[in-house]
Structure 1
């Protein structure tokens, strides 16, 4: 059990499962509400849950202990997350969850490319084939044919 809790693969699979639930729950949730307001409600819930987790696990840190570089990139990440959520909820309001979610997952392809170009990460030929299959699969699932 201890090994599972320290496995990035397990946490990534849990993330995928929760992301799937997010799409389904959000599609129903935006049915009779403005998508931007729905995003605000979701964000408040996430803020509360994160604060509870940090409090319950005693992980609060002194603000001065965090570097300005860390703050900069966390703020940029937060802005990107907010923009992503606003766009995602708008897409769910307008489209089918089964088609919106796969296109949203093109982020996997973009992460691979950006990580190689800007972070110096390396992917094997098999990894790139997987990235290509993810891109093709996302487009095929989203395509209304």
Structure 2
């Protein structure tokens, strides 16, 4: 016999006793996602400002090391058995791609280049497009024509942002506003490598918890970046050290809030809220440098966001299955 699954009322318990208003999973996830966006915006603003004094690779190491100091006590509390893995090679590969991803992100927004925070965020939204392509190639996931079409349209949005003259290449001066510089290439490479890390997490998450993956990522990133930190060693002031610690802590909190949002809320509802980072970064640009992104950035970002949301929607529908419980005899 098949019984339908019923849910408890948000304002009561199984016994019908009121417990006061509580947030639903999606509402709580939305709060976490907004906090994640705010934290990430503060994190990249500090990263950009601190790169005026110290090298971004130096910042990347301390971002990992300080986050490691935060996450290791957590994993010790829940138990080292949570760290057991049968795929150390895959875990190391995931950490390498993740390290490359966030380090290149810090380089892209650094004072080395003129990339605005809003343009970087817009380019980072191409990550779901890369995830779809890599999942099809690496994980052999079946990707239908609808999602392939959305990926193609999304990459058109990327081209509009970085090479706005490509669609009128025959006109004189079409590429005068070409945005394909090293900062843009670093941002695109960052999105690609982080997407590769996400694809590998899909495999590793079957045996490792989110906190275990986060701990491994921070520990291995610290080890991988240590030699480069020594090469690009800086001598920041005591005040700068304080800001570096605050930046690393903010990045960790933003990452934790993002993981929590995805855990408690539906991906199709939560994921679009991540795109609030673009207006947040735009406000930061307006405050810090006093200008807004160009029209091509807004148009390209809009196309990418719509394509990414559609991919998330199609992926959810594909995986959705009716939930029933078989009553035992």
Give TM-score scaled by structure 1 length: 0.70
Instruction: Name the structure 1 match of 2:105.
Output: 88
Residue 69 of structure 2 corresponds to residue 52 of structure 1: no
Instruction: Name the structure 1 match of 2:255.
Output: none
Q: Tell me, which stretches of 5 or more residues in structure 1 are unaligned?
A: none
Structural mapping, 1:34-73, within 5 Å: 34-56=55-77, 58-61=78-81, 65-67=84-86, 69=87, 71-73=88-90
Structural mapping, 1:1-145, within 5 Å: 4=25, 13=33, 17=37, 18-56=39-77, 58-61=78-81, 65-67=84-86, 69=87, 71-93=88-110, 94=113, 95-142=115-162, 144=179
SS at match of 1:45: helix
Q: Aligned in 2, Cα 1:107/1:4: closer, same or farther, shift over 3 Å? A: same
SS at match of 1:61: helix
Q: Tell me, which stretches of 5 or more residues in structure 2 are unaligned?
A: 1-21, 164-178, 180-295, 297-329
* Higher alpha-carbon deviation: 19-28 or 73-82: 19-28
- Check whether the contact 1:26–1:92 (CA below 8 A) recurs between aligned residues: yes
Over aligned residues, Cα RMSD in angstroms? 3.4
Name the CA distance, whole Å, in 2 between partners of 1:28 and 1:52.
30
Larger fraction in helix: 1
Q: Aligned in 2, Cα 1:24/1:80: closer, same or farther, shift over 3 Å? A: same
Q: Aligned in 2, Cα 1:31/1:126: closer, same or farther, shift over 3 Å? A: farther
- Check whether the contact 1:98–1:142 (CA below 8 A) recurs between aligned residues: no
Q: Aligned in 2, Cα 1:125/1:142: closer, same or farther, shift over 3 Å? A: same
Name the CA distance, whole Å, in 2 between partners of 1:15 and 1:108.
21
- Check whether the contact 1:105–1:138 (CA below 8 A) recurs between aligned residues: no
- Check whether the contact 1:106–1:138 (CA below 8 A) recurs between aligned residues: yes
* Higher alpha-carbon deviation: 89-98 or 123-132: 123-132
Q: How many Å apart are 1:22 and its aligned residue?
A: 3.6
SS at match of 1:136: helix
Question: Which structure has the greater CA radius of gyration?
Answer: 2
Name the CA distance, whole Å, in 1 between partners of 2:121 and 2:58.
20
Give TM-score scaled by structure 2 length: 0.35
Higher relative CO (Cα under 8 Å, sequence separation at least 6) belongs to: 2
Q: How many Å apart are 1:78 and its aligned residue?
A: 1.0
